Amino acid sequence: MSNSLKHEAPPRDLLTWLKYIEQLHPNAIEMGLGRVKVVIDRLGLRPAFKIITVAGTNGKGSTCTMLSQIYKHAGYRVGCYTSPHILRYNERVNVNGQDASDESLCAAFAAVEEARQGGSHNADAISLTYFEIGTLAAVWHFVQAGVDVAILEIGLGGRLDAVNAFEPDCTIVTNIDLDHQDILGHTRELIAYEKAGVYRPAIPAICGDNDPPESLIAYAKKVNADFKCIQHEFGYDLTKTGWYYLSNQQRTHHLPIPALKGQYQLNNAACAVTAVTALQSALPVSEVAIAKAMQEIKLVGRFYTDSRFPWLILDVAHNPHAATALAENLKVLKENNIPAISHSNQNPRVFSVFSMLADKDIKGVVDALKDEVDAWYVAPIEHSRGASVAVLLEAINKAVPNAPVKVFNNLGDAYYQAYLDRESCIEPNENDKIVAFGSFFTVSGVMQYLNEHVNTSLRKQ
C-alpha cells in the first residue's frame, strides 16, 4: 500500500513526531507483516542481538520487566520494548531500565520515516500504522544502543503483529483469554492460534497458560517448535520462604517471591526463568542475578503502590482475567488487614476509581470485582474509544444493584473525591484502599492528576 503523503520537513520534537505518525495511516490497526518487512529491508535492519518475543493476553509487561531486570543484573545491556505507555511515550523503549530520550526517539523515527518514504531506494512510500512505526523505531534504537538482548512485547495477537516481523531466539506466550475478539476471534482456540504465531521451528516456545488451548499446542507441533509448557516441562513450588523453579519436575533454583504482587506472577516468573535457561549457552545468567531481579521488580499499573501513599493501588486490569487477579489480591489485603493492624471496628474498605474503553468486556470486569469494591467513583476516559458513563453505570448497576456510585467529569475529580471520602469516614480504617483500575488510560489519568495537582501529602494544591 502506498501513501501519497510526503514529509519534506521532519518534525523537530517528539510530540510533533507522535502526532505525525498517528495520522499517517487511516486505521489504528492493520494486521500483516508484508509492509513492515519492506521497510525493515530498506532500513537494512538485521539485529545481531538476541531477541525474546513475549505474547499473551495478560502478564506480558510483567514478564518483559522480569527478563529485563534479570539480564541487567547479569551484566548485559538489555533493550525492552513494551506498550502502551502510562504517562510518556518514552516508557515504551528503554535500555537497562532507562527510558529512551526524546532525541533518541526522534532520530529513530526519522530513520524509519526516510525508509518508509523510499529514501535512497527511490521507491513508493509504504503506509504504516502508529504501532508499526514505533516497533521499527524501537528496534532501530536498540541497534544504535548496542544491546546484547532485546525483549519485545507483542502489541496485539502475535502472528500478524509488527514485532513478529523480527526473528526471535526465544518466544513466550504468557496466557490466553478473551480480549480483542473483534480482531483475534471470539474463542480461546482462535485467539491462541494467533498468539502461537510467534513460535518458530527449533526455537524455545514457552507457554505460561495452565490450560493451553489445543490450537496453540498444535501450532507448536506443526512448526516443530521446542515447546515448553508450565506444569509440564517447567513450573514452580511455593514455599514459606520463596519458591523453587522446576525443570522437568526437578527443583533447580530457590528464589525469592517476585516483588510484583499476586501468586499469578509466579507463572510469569517461571516463564522468564525458562527463557533465561533456554538461552543460557549464549547469555549465561547466575541464580544470584535472577534472585536480585525478583526482589526489585516494580511495574507501574500492575497492583502498583508507591511508598509515599500505600493506600492507593493502580492496576490496569482491563479484561476479566486481569480483573480476577486484581480481585484476588484485594481479597488477600482485606483478609490480612495489610499494611497495618487497624484500631477501627470498621472493616477495611475499597474505594474504586473506575473507567474502561468501550470495546472491552466491561460487564466481565465489574462482575469479577463486585465483591471486593465498596464504592464506585466513575468518570469517562478522554479518548475516542472511552466508554460512556451511562454504559459504565449500567454494568455496575446490573452487577451490584444499589451500589454506592458517584459520577464525575474526569478521573482526577473522581480520584480526589474518593480521597476525601476515605479521609472523612466517621470511623476511618488505615487499611482502607483507593484502587484505580479498568484501563491504562484510567491509571494514566489518576497519575497525571497526582503529578499536576497534589503534593506528597496528596492533598489538592
Give the per-residue pLDDT at 141: 98
Average pLDDT over residues 214-225: 96
Q: Which helix (H) or strand (E) holds 314?
A: strand 312-315
What mean pLDDT, rounded, does the chain reach?
89
Give the per-residue pLDDT at 346: 66
Average pLDDT over residues 146-151: 98
* Higher pLDDT pick, 359 / 453: 359
The 10s digit of each residue's pLDDT in 313-367 is: 999 999 998 999 999 989 888 777 654 544 555 678 899 999 999 989 999 999 9
* Higher pLDDT pick, 121 / 311: 311
Average pLDDT over residues 58-71: 95
The set of cell numbers assigned to 114 is: 526516510
* Higher pLDDT pick, 339 / 29: 29
User: Where residue 3 falls among pLDDT bands split at 50, 70, 90?
Assistant: very low
Triad 17, 20, 25: Cα angle to 5° = 135
User: Where residue 458 falls among pLDDT bands split at 50, 70, 90?
Assistant: very low
Checking if the pLDDT of 299 tops 60, the result is yes
Checking if the pLDDT of 96 tops 90, the result is yes
Checking if the pLDDT of 175 tops 50, the result is yes
Average pLDDT over residues 76-91: 95
Determine phi and psi for 252, rounding to 5 degrees. -120, -35
The set of cell numbers assigned to 240 is: 514459606
Instruction: Identify which of 140, 108, 127, 121 has the alpha carbon closest to the alpha carbon of residue 40.
Output: 140
Give the per-residue pLDDT at 298: 84
Give the per-residue pLDDT at 348: 80
The set of cell numbers assigned to 76 is: 548485559
Percent of the chain with pLDDT over 70: 91
Average pLDDT over residues 125-147: 95
Could you tell me which residues come within 8 angstroms of residue 326 by beta carbon, excluding any fewer than 6 positions away?
303, 315, 317, 368, 369, 372, 435, 437
Average pLDDT over residues 49-57: 96
User: Where residue 26 falls among pLDDT bands split at 50, 70, 90?
Assistant: low
Checking if the pLDDT of 156 tops 80, the result is yes
Q: How far is CA 95 from CA 75, 134, 280, in A?
A: 12, 15, 21
Q: What one-character-per-residue DSSP string does 241-269 give?
A: S-EEEEETTEEEEEEPPPSS-STTHHHHH
User: Where residue 123 falls among pLDDT bands split at 50, 70, 90?
Assistant: confident
pTM metric for this prediction: 0.89
Average pLDDT over residues 217-226: 97
Instruction: Identify which of 155, 138, 129 has the alpha carbon closest to the alpha carbon of residue 43.
Output: 138
Residue type, 132: E
Average pLDDT over residues 77-92: 95
Average pLDDT over residues 392-406: 93
Checking if the pLDDT of 246 tops 50, the result is yes
Average pLDDT over residues 288-302: 91
